[in-house]
Structure formats: structure tokens, C-alpha cells
A and B are shown apart, each in its own frame.
Chain A
Amino acid sequence: MIEIERVSKQFGSGGGGGLGGPSGGVMAVRDVSLSIGGGVVTGLLGPNGAGKTTLIRMITGFLTPSRGRVRVCGHDAIEDSGPARRCIGFLPESAPLYPEMRVSQFLRFRASLFKIPRAERASAIDGALRRCELLDMQDRRVGQLSKGYRQRVGLASAILHRPPVLILDEPSSGLDPAQIRSLRQTIRDLASEPLDEATAKRTGLSKRVVLLSSHSLPEVRATCDRIVIMARGQVRAAGAPDELLEPLRAAAPWRVEVGHPPETPASLMVSRTQELIAGVASRVLSCVAAPGNAVIARLEMASPSISHQSATTHPGEALFRTIAGAGLTIRSLSREEPTLEDVFLAAVEDRAHDALTPSLSHATSPKVFA
């Protein structure tokens, strides 16, 4: 398990009052608290410069937090860094490798660094090569490999010591669609397979913790069971995709298509419809004439908290009654389904505090993914 408690990271000097602090320091990560468990793939999503890589670097011990603490499988990432780092398999962004080394030689080097017992090294390397489909490439120099194969070598070196925690920073950058699909499956397999008995006993985890960072929404949507959205160094939203969509679903706009006879002027119908829905809508987003003697209106209705509590105050019903009661024909009445893109944009554009407050990760009560 990865436990992040009120972690901040400031680069350079300064008071840290803001992104560019008053004295020139940059607050890359600000007061982040998270708890990430095993068995699922957790995606760290955010635009470039959101603080994802800095947060990951504090988890792997590459950077020391300015404030707060990080624990990996119960070990403090700084004070007990050796055991903490041994628990982590890490694939940095762009999979930096030594180009002059052969693939198998590089994996032997990493196996030795991670203190895999000599007797187990050959099988560990063979397992990693097999899993990452690198058996044919083991004698090739890393510098001669394509970007996709280099990424696989990076992944093989990350899983070599069968770590209970796997951290992948932008794992699919630069890969073609076929390679991305294969990588996604491998990542999902790594999260779902049970840990060996000794590791499970040592860490208290039955399955692997997989944390993946990306700025690509499709990648996170396709690979991850849980999503943490970061922007400007803060966690803006966190939860399963459905949990994240729920607050937006409640506030999602309604769409109503009203039909009218051909002889009725469209402009008259538009103003009539607008007049009717204004009585029930909290906000009319649009109301326009459409082909086929129709008027299409988009509107926001009353508070979502009311909507599911009482049939009499259900916004859809109120809308239906209003339009049908005026003798107009309703051709369709529907609700726009929010997408993860909406969640992402709401979080990143600072609309999160209204729409996504229930899923925000607060410093004092970290969001737990288990």
C-alpha cells in the first residue's frame, strides 16, 4: 500500500505562497493525501505540469518531500528508504536505459542492484523477459532497440524483483496502438494476479499496487479502475470512474426535442418553448430550431439533491408536465451523459469544488483505494 500524508514539494527557495511562490519557489505538489491499495490499477491523471511526476518521484524516494510523509508497504520512503525502494518497481518516463548494454546484461545489473539472490536471478530474468515478450531481444544492445522495445525493457526491469508496488510514469508515451494495447493488458494482468506468499505475508497485500501516471485520458480510462486527477499540484478529484461521474450526472443538462406542425413558424415555436422551459429550468443553455419542424432545448434543472428524493419534484417529470401541459409534442426527453472528459475538465479548470467536492481528497481524510 502507498500512503501519502499531507505531502508538499517546493522547488527552489521561497515562501511557497502559490505556484510561483512570492520568493521565486515553485510549489509542484501541495498538501496531497492519498492511500492506494492493491488489486486495482490506479491512474494519476493530469495535464502536463500538474505535479504527477513530482509526486511519483517522492513515492520512489528520488525526491524528498518538503512537507509530509510517504510510506510504501509500511516503510517510510525517506527514513526507511532501502526497504521502501525494494518494494517498488519503477518505470520512469521515457524508460531511460544504458544504450551500450545488452538487454540480458542490463536485467542482470538491475537484479543485482535489487539484491535478488543469485540462485533466483536467472529465473527472475527469464520470467521478466517472457512476460514482456523480449526473449528474442535479450542479446541485442538496448541502443539498437525501437522505442517500443526499450519501453518493454524498462517494464521488465521494473517487474524483475516481483515488487508489490509497481509505478509507471507515462508508460505508453511514444508507443504505437498495438504496443499500447499489449502494454495495457500486461499492466492489468500485473494488478490482478496474486502476489507470492512471502511477499503477501511481508506486505499484507494480496495483490499488487499499480500506479500509472498519464496525461492521456483515453489511456487512463482504458487501463485504470481508479483515477486520481491532479492539477496545479493538488488532487482535484479521486475515485472510481463511476464515482467521479456521479456528481456531474446529477448536474447534467437535460435535452428536450419539441415537435410542431409545419405551418407554425419556427421562430414562434422557439420563443414559446423558451418561455415554457424558463419556468422550470435553473438555466437555459440553448433553445434552437432544428430540421424536421422541431425545437431542441438544452437546460439545467433544479438541484440534483432533490432530484432523486421525491417523484413529485423530479426535474424530468416537471419538464415533461410543463411542455405536454401546454399542448406541445415531446419527441424526446433525455439527459446528457457526462464523460470522464467532463470530469477531467471540471477538475482541471477549477470547477471541481462545486461539482466534484464529494470525491475530493482532503488532507485530513485521505481517499482510500483498496
Chain B
Amino acid sequence: MSGVATIALREFRAFFQLPLGWIIVALCLLGSGFAFTNATLIPGQPASMRDFFAFWWFILAIIAPSISMRLFSEELRSGTFEPLMSSPVSELSIVLGKYFGAMLLLIACLAPTMLYVGVLGSLTRPDYGPIFAGYLGVLLAGALYLAVGLVFSALTSSQTLAFLATMFVLIGVELAIAYGSSQLPPQAARAVSELSANARIADFAKGVVDTANIAYFVVVSAWLVGISAVILRARRWR
């Protein structure tokens, strides 16, 4: 387990030793600031952040690939992948370390947005339950999106390719679900919409902490992390 923590902390620190980490945080604050001022800070509206969270699938679809693109692609490009894979740490530990490092950055991106909660609290009396549930939803969706990016990063030494492929999949899936839901018969549309991370974030934003939603994000993320470990193992066999 110490290998996981070592790699996670190195990864997290590396983001802030490079301009990339600061740019990602700034990008996240820009997007969330726009969402907060345009969806929440509207006179006469209920003191809720439900609409604010509706923006997050799109913000995550930009920042998650920005975070995940360098996880393995950079190691593959620079050659540091070889000494890392030759150290006495398993593929799963390496993948988990990278993944948790990326999760820490996502948390670092989300943490300053808590200021918005403070601003809302200073103006009115919001129901904090749905707000914190919404943050939990964003965090879980972010975990899923980062896991998707992790897979693409393990597949290529090009950060650009990893970024574009991840973003294409994340946005493409949401758009396909939205389009499919409007075209398919109601029963099939409901089944398809179950795949939407956006819809599940909306459930959390309403204050509904459904274990099915949590299980969906956790299981799919774990599956993708496992696939990334398999990809690393396969690289030894190439």
C-alpha cells in the first residue's frame, strides 16, 4: 500500500510543480464560477445549487481529461515508465497510485468551490444536504471520468491523443444518451439514460444519495482502473 501512497503523492505534487496543475485549477474555477453566477446567484430563485451542479458534467469532461492525459502518457514519452515498471511495485499499485494522485487534484479543484457555498450561506439559508450530496455526485462522476482518462493514458504516449480520446468519449457518450433518449421508445430510453453520469449527478443535486448511483460510479471506475492495470501488464508481454 505504501507504493500506492508514494506514487499518488508524487503525482499530486508534480501537478503543482508544473504549470499544468495550476491551469487545471484555474480552468475549473472559471467554469464553476460561471456556473455559480449564472445558475445560482439569481435574485428570486430558490437557495439551491441544483442548477450549478447541472454544469458539472461538462466541466468534468474538460478537466478530467486534462488531469488524466499525463498520468501514463508522459511516463511513456519521457522513458520514466521503464524505471517505474522495474521497481518492486505491482501494476495495480502503480495504476492506483496514479489514479489517487489524479483524484487528489480533482479534490484540490473542487475545494475552492466550497467558497460558493459560503457565499450562498451568507446571502440566504440554503439546505446544505442537497449541496453536499451534489458535491459527492460530482466527486464520484469525476472519479469515473478520470478512470476513463486513465485507460486512454495507459494506451498511448501522446498526451494530446489521450486528452482528445477521453474528451470525445465523455462528451460523445452524454450526447449520444441525450439523443438516444429522445429517439428511443420510453422503456429503452430509460435504460439508456441509466448510463448518463449527468443524470446521476442531477439525482445527487436533488439530495438523493442513492446507493445504486454510488455503486454505478464505484463499480465502473474500479472496472476501468482494473483495465488500466491489465494494459500495463500487457505492455510487459508486447
Contacts and interface: CB of A to CB of B under 8 A. Distances in A.
A60 interface: yes
A220 B156 CA distance: 36
Interface residues of B, number: 22
Contact of B6 (A11, A88, A98, A113): A113
Contact of B78 (A82, A96, A110, A157): A96
Nearest to B83: A92
Nearest to A86: B88
Contact of A92 (B3, B10, B79, B236): B79
Given A90-B86, A92-B83, A101 B78 contact: no
A88 B89 CA distance: 13
B124 interface: no
Interface of A: 11, 57, 60-64, 81-83, 85-86, 88, 90, 92-94, 96-101, 109-110, 112-115, 157
B6 A64 contact: no
A62 B18 contact: no
A100 B18 contact: yes
Contacts of A114: 87-88
Contacts of B79: 92-94, 96
A97 B88 contact: no
The 8 closest A-B pairs by CB, nearest first: A96-B79, A100-B17, A60-B86, A112-B6, A85-B88, A86-B88, A96-B80, A113-B87
Contact of A63 (B80, B87, B89, B236): B236
Contacts of B155: none
Given A61-B86, A64-B236, A114-B88, A97 B80 contact: yes
Contacts of A110: 87
B88 A113 contact: yes
Contacts of B7: 113
Nearest to B15: A100
Nearest to A60: B86
Given A11-B238, A112-B6, A85 B82 contact: no
B2 interface: yes
Contact of A109 (B10, B82, B88, B90): B10
Interface string B95-117: 00000000000000000000000
Nearest to B87: A113
Most central of B87, B89, B236, B237 by chain A CB within 10 Å: B87
A360 to B, nearest CB: 29
Given A85-B88, A86-B88, A114-B87, A64 B237 contact: yes
B14 interface: yes
B106 to A, nearest CB: 20
Contacts of B10: 98, 101, 109
Nearest to B233: A64
B6 A90 contact: no
Nearest to B97: A113
28 contacts: A61-B85, A62-B82, A62-B85, A62-B86, A63-B237, A63-B238, A81-B88, A83-B88, A86-B88, A90-B83, A90-B86, A92-B83, A92-B86, A94-B79, A96-B80, A96-B83, A99-B78, A100-B14, A100-B18, A101-B10, A101-B17, A109-B6, A112-B3, A113-B3, A113-B6, A113-B87, A114-B87, A115-B2
